[in-house]
Amino acid sequence: MNKHTRGLAAAVAAGALLAVPVTGQAAKPSKPGKRGSSAASCTKPHNVGFRVTGTLVSVTADDPTTPASEATVTLTVRSANRHARHSGEIADQNAARRGVQVRGASFTVPAGDAFVLRLRGYEGTDTPSVGDRVKVHGRIALTKRRCAPAGTSIADRLGAVDVRRVTISDRDPDA
């Protein structure tokens, strides 16, 4: 084979290789219940994360002799994720600034919300004290924007908070 024929054959083979993947990229029809069907995806809200961190103000332990949870934790908020800021659970601390400013607000995990209380760094008889670090983890139901009526705010699309875990970390030196 001469050099011109080899070059032409290589160009044709390269073109064929480039053309084959393009034919497989055609749009596929949507199946019911998948992304294409908005009615099926709006049947229930999906849960999103809820996270608040701060410093401990007070903690009340749960009474193990009763079936209901009486445990409460109150903290001064240092930070919160987007869903926590927009949920309406934490008051805006500076209405003059754009967005929701939560730093310095007070947040209480209500009694009756069954959550796991984790204590980190406590040794012996050491107990949580004011100023210890607190992390609150939970879930919150969010209705999708396309599933809510027009003009609905994000605070109205968020449901009630379900706190699942509260972690208190020891920050003071042990005696």
- Residue-wise pLDDT tens for the chain (175 aa)? 576 788 778 878 777 767 655 555 555 555 555 555 556 778 877 899 999 999 999 998 888 888 888 888 999 999 999 988 888 888 888 888 888 888 999 999 988 788 888 989 888 888 888 999 999 999 998 888 888 888 888 888 888 888 999 999 998 776 5
Q: Which residues contact 61 (CB under 8 A, 6 or more apart)?
A: 71, 117
pTM of the predicted model as reported, rounded to 2 decimal places: 0.70
Give strand pairing partners of 163: 138
**The pair of three-digit structure tokens given for residue 139, joined into one six-digit string:** 């879930």
- 3-state class of 82 per DSSP? helix
